[in-house]
Structure 1
Amino acid sequence: MEALAAIGEGFFTSMFVALLGRFKSSDLIYFAKKEKLDVDLRKLEKTLLSINAVLTDAGEKPVTDRTVKLWLTELTDSAYDVEDVLDEFAYEALQHKLTAQPRTSVRTVRCWHNLASLSCFKWGAGTFSVKMRSKIKGIDARLQEIATQKSDLELRENVEGRAYKARDQRLPTTCLVNEVNVYGREKDKEAIVERLLVETTSDAEVPVIPIVGMGGIGKTTLAQLVYNDEKVAGFFDSKAWIYVSEDFDVIKVMKAILQSVNGGVPDTNDLNLLHIKLKEELSVKKILFVLDDFWHDNYVDWTSLILPLEVGKSGSKIIITTRNQNVAKMTGTLPAYQLKELAYDDCLSVLAHHSLGRENFDGHPHLNDIGKEIVKKCKGLPLAVKTLAGLLRNKVTYEEWEAVSRSKMWDLTEEKGGIFSDLRLSYHHLPSHLKPCFAYCSLFPKGHEFDRDELVLLWIAAGLVQQKGDKQPEDIGRDRIITNRCS
């Protein structure tokens, strides 16, 4: 149960959606009414609904809040009890449908031996109702007690990620970069610069180059390198760097663009006026726009943002950095640039530079082997290497480095480093139907190799994938594996 509680909001939301869906079964409703248990079930459903309203907020807290984690563990136990009760109802309802005289076959034989079949049948039916009513009341009492703890835990209803955003105030990015600190991105930089320096011949679409990759892989750093390239600076009349983040607002972004372009702070929130001002700027300037850390995949909002660029006819271009493949598909007019993991040797240089202030381990040969072990665990993510290098800053004993190597990088708190928060944000932005499937994989040991079809069957058995229309659960599960891989 502890492991299940640890995987967060996606699992609990999926569990409760499945449970609440079972209460709508026509067979269950009919049989519950027949047994005069429908009122008890409706009360239980109402209690579950009241808890379900705070699951998003609760699911975002257990990583850092042990009290909420324990609350979710207790809730999981009770939810499984509800599932057991519904299974019993389903079995009895099925028995009722399959026989003209439900539950008589075994009980009636026993009763004929006692020459009291009719009275025995009535007694059996009544026993089921009494037993189930007692079970339901016991479970509901526990759930009511769990529900009353919502206020004490300060859980809010239907927050849809707002609680997470309030706690995750990441430092905005800027266009500045110290190229001395960057390793292994020369070819990536040249590939993007080459695309930017092509003169556009069509006014139909604004050239948009998405840089796509997982969190911590170096998308922002690559964009900074390109932004500060001398050839790029000579090609464009002006440049604008905008940190977008997950809190997207068209007005806010437009004002930031105008401030970057002409240095003035627009004193209006009128989108029409902002559009006109930007169009005027674009009529005389060719501008490079960088929209860093873009999450928003609403096409209507996107078209509103780029409208002045389409009618300005300036030859301006846009670079977007994003982890979201859907954003890349929506915004990109040029092929997306899929940024790969940093090469092993370059990661080793990053570790040496940020931990020891050197290009390599020549001055500290006793740390070379342990440094290589640490780099291997970072899987080509420069942010992960940099985070661990920060923990090792100016530490030169083998024992200190070995202690970091033995530790789990993913156990770092958000205060100690940015990689944990960065990866958790990626999970947070997964579609709700993918979260529980992705989180389920955390129940397996690190490095576990999954068989695709076996994993799909495990998802189905856990109730995370269910049939939709004519599409079988196996096909839905395989689709989710593909989507998870791309996210």
Structure 2
Amino acid sequence: MPLEELLLSALLQVLFDRLTSRELLQFALQEGLSSNLKNLENKLKMIEAVLFEAEEKQLTDRAVKLWLDNLRDLASDAKDVLDEIATKASQRKLMKERHRNTIKVWNLIFSFFISWSPSAVKFNFRMRSKIKGINSSLEELCKQRINLGLQLVAGKSSANALPQRPPSTSVPSEAVVYGRDGDKAKILEMLLRDEPSDANFRVIPIVGMEGIGKTTLAQEVYNDKAMEDFNPKAWVCVSSNLDVLRISKAILESITLSSCDFSELNLVQIKLKEAMTGKRFLIVLDDVWRKDYSLWETLKLPFTAGAKGSRIMVTTRLAEADFWLHKTQQKLLSDDDCWSIFVRHAYESKDIATYHNIELIRQKVVQLCKGLPWAAKTVGSFLHSKQREEEWLDILNTKVWELSDEKEAFKLNYLKNGR
């Protein structure tokens, strides 16, 4: 699959994340933008449903390729608008917080003023016009997709377009972990330290970009002997499917070691609460993609029955401080650690001494991986099957690596799926 389509699939996911942001939704409701944003979300979902087939057809149909190009431009415009609204929402929130302690009546007057000031009215009108324009263009694309014969392929959607990693488990995925001893010690200390302000449980997020090794670090912590004092323990891979019923059932099954046939969330949460009552538990929610406050509030209801000192460890790319009260930001690995991971996966039984340009290869590998352990593992695993040194240099010299740093994950997906 071409790299551009990987980026388009990811861009649509970014738009859906923006459109479900609690802060943005509250601002849109106050400023009369909700219906426009909901219309935008519905049209994007309609187009997302045929994106997989469009990506297949565009290789042989120039009209479909042009359709995708237009979609990419519109998606980029939509992201710019949503970013502008999110920025304004954050500014408005800060202004209101500064006046939180004023007399109530003056606070109401202030809130009214900032919502109906000339600049606010002008901003809302401009945003509404931009969104309507984007929606109108998306509506035209929806009509064009019918003429282009783009239909939803059963069991496939744009969610499949971006290569997905297999679900994680608590079983360590790496025999040796490089450069994470300090991070592990810090998280263990946070998990084991009790604070006077603690409620029944505390959330400890591991935050970092994709591929930096959050899951591997969580596995190391979860299986450490110091965690034996937590009982029960559960591990759930969340990913893009933030389904409260599915996650609650997975936690319950992990704790009870038996399958759960309930289809009603109420019954599942009652059983889960019974299983956790008075117990000091440890739950890992791995690879959380979305921040949805209302779903989180529902999911955590049974956890309040646990004993004080219980912990929920979350691995996520979401760094919002207002959502994760305690967080550990993962740092990039050193060049030496990245090279060690690469060597372990690329060479294995090969004799490094037989490679004449080993120093040049090392320079290119560490430059490519930029401190990401997942990148080192992916590149190493891919080159493992290549026997000749010339093949390695040819791949490492490909122009796809000249893209900006922000597209690192897509470069590696291209390496795995696009060659």
TM range (shorter): 0.5 to 0.7
Tell me the residue number matched to 2:381.
390
CA distance in 2, matches of 1:273, 1:56: 34
Tell me the residue number matched to 1:226.
221
Indicate yes or no: 2:145 matched with 1:154.
no
Indicate yes or no: 2:168 matched with 1:173.
yes
Identity across the alignment (%):
35
* Pick aligned residue for 2:332 from 341, 348, 372: 341
Tell me the residue number matched to 1:239.
233
TM-score normalised by L of structure 2: 0.62
* Pick aligned residue for 1:206 from 201, 211, 215: 201
Three-state SS of the structure 2 residue aligned to 1:237 is: coil
Tell me the residue number matched to 1:104.
none
Three-state SS of the structure 1 residue aligned to 2:384 is: coil
* Pick aligned residue for 2:59 from 62, 66, 85: 66
CA pair 223-176 structure 1, distance change in 2 beyond 3 A: same
CA distance in 1, matches of 2:372, 2:62: 29
Aligned residues: 312
CA distance in 2, matches of 1:286, 1:183: 30
Greater alpha carbon shift after TM alignment, 308-317 vs 2-11: 2-11
Q: For residue 66 of structure 1, what is the amino acid of its counterpart?
A: L
CA distance in 1, matches of 2:268, 2:312: 18
CA pair 227-422 structure 1, distance change in 2 beyond 3 A: farther
CA distance in 2, matches of 1:357, 1:263: 37
Structure 1 gap segments, 5+ residues each: 15-50, 81-142, 412-417, 425-487
Tell me the residue number matched to 1:197.
192
Tell me the residue number matched to 2:265.
271
CA pair 67-154 structure 1, distance change in 2 beyond 3 A: same
- 1:63-99, Cα deviation, whole Å (9 max, x unpaired): 664246752426868999xxxxxxxxxxxxxxxxxxx
User: Does the CA contact (< 8 Å) of 1:283 and 1:313 recur in 2?
Assistant: yes
Q: Root-mean-square deviation (CA), in Å?
A: 4.2
Tell me the residue number matched to 1:287.
281
Mapping of residues 13-32 of structure 1, within 5 Å: none
Shift of 1:375: 2.1
CA distance in 1, matches of 2:61, 2:291: 32
- 1:171-217, Cα deviation, whole Å (9 max, x unpaired): 11111115533211111111111111113544536310111111111
- 1:273-322, Cα deviation, whole Å (9 max, x unpaired): 22222222222421110000112322111011111112333421011111
Tell me the residue number matched to 1:27.
none
CA distance in 2, matches of 1:378, 1:63: 28
User: Does the CA contact (< 8 Å) of 2:201 and 2:312 recur in 1?
Assistant: yes
Shift of 1:408: 4.5
User: Does the CA contact (< 8 Å) of 1:241 and 1:260 recur in 2?
Assistant: yes
CA distance in 2, matches of 1:270, 1:207: 27
Tell me the residue number matched to 1:420.
410
* Pick aligned residue for 1:309 from 274, 282, 303: 303
Tell me the residue number matched to 1:380.
371
- 1:193-252, Cα deviation, whole Å (9 max, x unpaired): 1111113544536310111111111111111111111112x2312311000111111111
CA distance in 2, matches of 1:423, 1:3: 8
Q: For residue 292 of structure 1, what is the amino acid of its counterpart?
A: D
TM-score normalised by L of structure 1: 0.54
CA distance in 2, matches of 1:208, 1:349: 32
User: Does the CA contact (< 8 Å) of 2:231 and 2:279 recur in 1?
Assistant: yes
CA distance in 1, matches of 2:367, 2:344: 17
CA pair 4-384 structure 1, distance change in 2 beyond 3 A: closer
CA pair 52-390 structure 1, distance change in 2 beyond 3 A: closer
CA distance in 1, matches of 2:203, 2:194: 13
Structure 2 gap segments, 5+ residues each: 16-42, 74-138, 403-407, 415-419
Tell me the residue number matched to 2:88.
none
